[in-house]
Amino acid sequence: MDSNEKGHTLEKVVRAIEEMIIRETPTLRDAPFFFESRKRLVAQGVPLEIDLVVTVHRGMPYESVHIFECKNWATPVGPTEIRDFAEKIHAMGAQKGYFVARDFTTGARARAAQDPRMVLTPVTNDFVSPLQDGLFVASEHMILSLTVELTARNPSVQFGPLGPEFLHAVAFLNGRPLVLADYLNATAERAVSKERRIRARQFTLVGDHVTRITPGVIFEPCEFIIKGIDVAQVVLYVWFTVATVPFRIISQYEVSTRGRFYTYEGRSIGHPEMTVEIDLVQTLQMPTAKP
């Protein structure tokens, strides 16, 4: 990850935490607010760029402006960067300016202490998290085998082996034509989905869960017709497996006094092109007024 990408990542982290803080703060959650990333302005002829601007409208004509500088550097931030940030705070007329970085030099801390509106905010990846891999899991199922038993309404009529030709025959359900195999597969999928809901707790355990179910469907007279035969009942014998895998934490950030941000690895669910990604935000305190 290059330095520009690292900077964008930290900005994303800070923004997500600040949004959560606002939404969790009783005095702010109903106030209109908006975020501006990489805001550019000119102050006394000098072009400036601010990583993140948070504006909360508390009611006309009052508004609160807080700005954030994000430096995802391996080396400590020095007094020059602090001086530049102080100029941005002044140019924006911000109530607070948060400088988020991994470390600060002694000179940087001394320079920041001269501006009561500036808050040096350390960020780290090295902390003991209460969260563990596996807090989130992904499950998908696959039908292993499907056997069908058909019962005709006329006891004297017996269905023979359900070969490919028979399974691809056109049947009629309430007068609507359909391919028998498509109907049986869809019925099996619905039954599996229902079983997964019923046994959801079991299927959230990591591992492969092989299960057998025998769902049945009973029809009214002339409701389901196959090759001219009135079907009274269909019973499916379904073997299926549910594979449950954990999401693994691939990165974590703790922004001092603000919050924590976790990223879980993306996983393909059900289809190779459908990927689920999870970001989790945890605030560290409940502010009473200011974001």
For residues 72 and 100, give the distance between their C-alpha atoms in angstroms, rounded to a whole number.
Answer: 8
- pLDDT score recorded for residue 290: 46
Let me know the angle formed at the C-alpha of 238 by 233 and 241, rounded to the nearest 5 degrees: 155
pLDDT score at 140: 86
pLDDT of residue 165: 83
Question: What is the structure's pLDDT at 29?
Answer: 72
> Which CATH number applies to 3-131: 3.40.30.10, 3.40.1350.10, 3.40.50.1110, 2.40.110.20?
3.40.1350.10
Q: Cβ(89)–Cβ(283) under 8 Å?
A: no
pLDDT in tens, the chain (291 residues): 566 777 789 999 999 999 999 888 887 777 788 899 999 988 888 899 999 999 988 665 667 899 999 999 999 999 999 999 999 999 999 999 999 999 999 999 999 999 999 999 999 999 887 776 667 787 889 999 999 999 999 999 988 778 888 888 899 999 999 999 999 999 999 999 999 999 999 998 888 999 999 999 999 999 999 999 999 999 999 999 998 888 888 889 999 999 999 988 876 655 555 666 788 898 986 544 444
DSSP string covering 144-210, please? Answer: EEEEEEEEESSTT-------HHHHTSEEEETTEEEEHHHHHHHHHHHHHHHHHHHTHHHHTSSEEEE
d(CA 219, CA 125): 61
In the DSSP assignment, the letter for residue 45 is T
pLDDT at 84: 95
The rounded distance, in Å, linking the Cα atoms of 82 and 69 is 10
- The pLDDT, as a whole number, for residue 287 is 46
| Extents of the domains making up the chain | 3-131, 140-245
pLDDT of residue 161: 77
pTM here is 0.67
DSSP classification of residue 31 = S
